[in-house]
Amino acid sequence: MILHLLDYAGVAVFAISGALAAGRKSLDVLGVVVIALVTATGGGTIRDILLDRNPVFWIGEPTYVVVIVLAALATIPYTRWRRPPLQSLQIADALGLAFFSIAGAQVALGAGHPGLIAVIMATITGAFGGLLRDVLCNEIPMILRKGQLYAVAVIVGASIYVLLLDLGISRWPATLTGMLAVAAIRFAAIVWNWSLPVYSLPDAADRSPD
């Protein structure tokens, strides 16, 4: 029950991040709702399709759709009068990321896949909704650019979760440690502006093999 409320809260935070991104592109109200839906459901949907899980999570439980639409619609009047509480949203987003990515790893392990696939599914569940959002907004996805260790946090946290399970640690401590690691790395990246090195080719190499 509490897990379910957390789940809805996480989806709502992703929906708000989608609505804010849409607002920066001056889309119409329905476009905002579509972007919010894609942002909040995209990662889990790609995971479910890749793992052939039926039904896809929001089709089996349409309450997700209702929560997302309400969160997106509430964002619009809110930001007419007040600035979005970006600090709080970032913290909520980091918690949502921690929650969804470890849940994604659990789904993959539960279906009998190896740890490497679980880490990839964690990344897809946590980060590919935002990737689709950025593709629809016609931008290079944020998680690929010099960023704030968004995908790194997921990969490290999910790897810790998988390793702890492999070492025989039981499920709840492993889950909490993994989520904590994701959130901690994101917080550190936000506070101290950590980032990965950029790979930038000189112009001389600027001709593709195909």
CB of 170 vs a second copy, minimal distance in Å: 25
d(CA 64, CA 66): 5
CB of 7 vs a second copy, minimal distance in Å: 18
The structure tokens 């790609």 sit at 46
From the CB of residue 146, how many other CB atoms can be counted at a distance below 10 Å?
A: 11
CB of 70 vs a second copy, minimal distance in Å: 13
Binders of a second copy among residues 185 to 204 (CB under 8 A) are 195-201, 204
- Quick one: which of 3, 24, 167, 193 contacts a second copy (CB under 8 A)? 24
Site string for a second copy, 46-75 (x = CB under 8 A): ---xxxx-xxx--x--x--xx---------
Binders of a second copy among residues 129 to 168 (CB under 8 A) are 130-131, 135-148, 150-152, 155
List the structure tokens of 20.
């804010």
- When the beta carbons of 63 and 173 are compared against a second copy, the nearer one is 63
From the CB of residue 58, how many other CB atoms can be counted at a distance below 10 Å?
A: 20
Binders of a second copy among residues 74 to 133 (CB under 8 A) are 76, 79, 83-84, 86, 89-90, 92-93, 113-114, 116-117, 120, 130-131
d(CA 26, CA 113): 42
List the structure tokens of 100.
């969804």
Q: What crossing angle do the helices spanning 2-23 and 115-136 adopt, rounded to 10°?
A: 40
